[in-house]
A = this chain, B = another copy of it.
Amino acid sequence: MNKEKAHDEFKLFLKAGKHRITPERFEVLSYAFESGDHFTADDLYLEMKNGKSNVSRATVYNSLELLVKCEMLAKRNFGENKTFYESSYNRKNHVHLICKECGEIIESNNIKVAELVNSIAKKNNFINESFQFNILGKCKKHSK
């Protein structure tokens, strides 16, 4: 997704939900999309501060939640007790492989995951909305 399209989509979402259109929210959007694949709210806040942005920590947290609600970002959580965000555009059904040695996060797309999720949900009378699928272990470099 390019930046302009993202900007417009977020704007529409804000209007629809009667949230105000503020420059701070678009600043967060812009940094979020320039940031790496997986970042935390605080990382982004510090990055923005470095980049001479004056957006406050509270606003960063708030704006990221709005971006999750409008499905432009997805929340992840990899075992440490902190929340990561990632762009969710065109990224359904993917799995994270997380190296316990170096923390590297590899993403893998596998068509069978979605099928499996649906079949498990169905079997348990459960309405599937999203999933987290993390495989923990050692990456190639650290498998000694």
Q: Which residues of A contact B (CB under 8 A)?
A: 75, 77, 79, 81-83, 95, 97, 99-100, 106, 108, 110, 112-113, 116-117, 119-121, 123-140, 143
When distances are taken between beta carbons in the complex, the residues of chain B under 8 Å from A120 are 95, 97, 108, 110, 135
Known contacts A97-B126, A99-B126; 4 additional CB pairs below 8 A are A75-B79, A79-B132, A106-B126, A112-B116
Instruction: Choose from B108, B121, B134 the contact partner of A124 (Cβ within 8 Å).
Output: B108
Bound complex: CA A110 to CA B126 (Å): 15
Chain B min CB distance to A116 (Å): 6
Bound complex: CA A95 to CA B138 (Å): 21
Per CB-CB distance, the 3 closest pairs between chain A and chain B, nearest first, are A129-B137, A127-B138, A125-B140
